[in-house]
Amino acid sequence: MLRFAKRFENLSGSVVREILKLTQQKDIISFGGGMPSADSFPVEELAQLAADTFADHGAQMLQYGTTEGYQPLREWIAGWLQAKGWKVTVDNILIISGSQQGLDLTSKAFLDPGDQVVIESPSYLAAFQIFSSYQASYLAVPSDDEGMRMDELEKVLANNSPKLMYTIPTFQNPTGITMTLERRKKLIELANKYNVIVIEDDPYGYLRYSGEELPSLKALDTEDKVIYMGSFSKIVAPGLRVGFAVANQEILGKLVIGKQASDVHTSNLSQQIIYRYCSQGMLEPHVEKICATYKAKRDAMLAAMDKHFPKSVTWTKPEGGLFIWCTLPEGLVSTELLKEAVEKQVAFIPGAPFYLNGQGQNMLRLNFSNSEMASIEEGIRRIGEVFSKAVSR
């Protein structure tokens, strides 16, 4: 009999990953994943930069590197953030293997079994997996169309002693909602008052298609309570696995120790490719290009939903990111409707897995970024047929 660690006793694989196995049928139109479009990857440019890196630093690049990350990349990121008004230096930046590793390292540094973590509800599935692997307990705070509700957050903080608070304030996964400036300021105020460390996960923040840009929580941070997780996965390529954490030096020192024990350092090749891509001025025009593409896809999906979904179905209208969140009439179960949708060779992600308390049965997430423009209308039409049939029943 295998004697696994207790922290793995109640853990399971990603529900989304399991559901996506249903979508691997031939010719299925999937709005299920959370991936950027492969068509957006700058393949030729990255291939040339990789060749340049081998030519210039072959042996050095193949050797071990420092845990903190490639110094020129850290310096570039510091300058990038300083230009946005952030009070950071290179000593506040750690290169990580995707922002998800940052969640793991932060959990490793702060959480003991039973420690409380505040999460917005609904929230990112992988965050649940990570916090649960450290045997955390949860304090869920409901959200509305302006983000996490601050009145409910204050009640939770006043009556509990959480160590961490986790939020995706900009183009949230799964809802696509952006937290308002007023609530961002209030969140920082409450974090300071109740001495809670905030994890700001921001993988989608640079994918804005409409509306005004808002300052990040870290930019509003007055007492170094925010750990910011940034990523190049959605704006360059996820397969390179390059992200970055921004925190005060005391916290960053603990994350470095945790990373040393985890993977020593992020891939030298990936770091140098990202550095060359950014420092040679390729990032900004690339982001502008993919934002134009994703905006067209978002608009096409919203228009198709207006056309094909029953009037009793509602949905968010995100200003950026990758997702649209739908709410069906009470009594309908999106997990059951997914089965009917797959029969029509179209797929989405049911909403219940994004909650911890059994809510979300009548909700679902649609991804528009990884779909072909030509398939968006047809896929939404098929889903609309499933929803209309269910509503009529």
Looking at the structure of the chain, the number of domains it has is 2
Confidence bin at 27 (pLDDT 50/70/90)? confident
The CATH number assigned to the domain holding 322 equals 3.90.1150.10
DSSP track, 265-299:
S--HHHHHHHHHHHHTT-HHHHHHHHHHHHHHHHH
Confidence bin at 20 (pLDDT 50/70/90)? low
Residue-wise pLDDT for 354-363, tens only, equals 999 889 999 9
Are residues 393 and 315 in contact, defined by beta-carbon separation less than 8 angstroms?
no
Whether residue 314 is predicted with pLDDT greater than 70 in this model: the reply is yes
The percentage of residues in the chain with a pLDDT greater than 90, rounded to a whole number, is: 90
Task: Extract the runs of DSSP E, i.e. beta strands, from 90-241.
Answer: 93-96, 116-121, 137-144, 147-148, 164-167, 197-201, 226-231
Q: Are residues 69 and 167 in the same domain?
A: yes
Average pLDDT over residues 26-50: 92
Residue-wise pLDDT for 332-387, tens only, equals 999 999 999 999 999 999 999 999 988 999 999 999 999 999 899 999 999 999 99
Task: Extract the runs of DSSP E, i.e. beta strands, from 49-136.
Answer: 93-96, 116-121
Instruction: Point out the domain boundary residue: 250, 279, 308.
Output: 279
Q: Are residues 15 and 61 in the same domain?
A: no
Q: What is the DSSP letter of 8?
A: G
For residue 393, the model assigns a pLDDT of: 83
Q: Are residues 254 and 218 in the same domain?
A: yes
Residue-wise pLDDT for 112-169, tens only, equals 999 999 999 999 999 999 999 999 999 999 999 999 999 999 999 999 999 999 999 9
Q: Are residues 293 and 201 in the same domain?
A: no
Q: Are residues 109 and 205 in the same domain?
A: yes
For residue 10, the model assigns a pLDDT of: 67
Q: Are residues 237 and 329 in the same domain?
A: no
Instruction: For residues 190 and 161, give the distance between their C-alpha atoms in angstroms, rounded to a whole number.
Output: 13
Are residues 121 and 147 in contact, defined by beta-carbon separation less than 8 angstroms?
no
Q: Are residues 68 and 124 in the same domain?
A: yes
Residue-wise pLDDT for 186-201, tens only, equals 999 999 999 999 999 9
50 burial level (CB within 10 Å; 0-12, 13-18, 19+):
middle
Q: Quick check: pTM over 0.85?
A: yes
Tell me the β-bridge partners of 95: 244
For residue 98, the model assigns a pLDDT of: 93
Instruction: Point out the domain boundary residue: 233, 252, 279.
Output: 279
* Helix 43-62 with 268-279: angle, nearest 10 deg: 130
Q: What is the DSSP letter of 348?
A: -
Domain span including residue 237? 43-279
User: How long, in residues, is the chain?
Assistant: 393
Q: Are residues 249 and 136 in the same domain?
A: yes
Instruction: Point out the domain boundary residue: 238, 264, 279.
Output: 279
Instruction: For residues 86 and 103, give the distance between their C-alpha atoms in angstroms, rounded to a whole number.
Output: 21
Q: Are residues 112 and 26 in the same domain?
A: no
Q: Are residues 25 and 174 in the same domain?
A: no
Per the prediction, the chain carries an average pLDDT of: 94
For residue 5, the model assigns a pLDDT of: 80
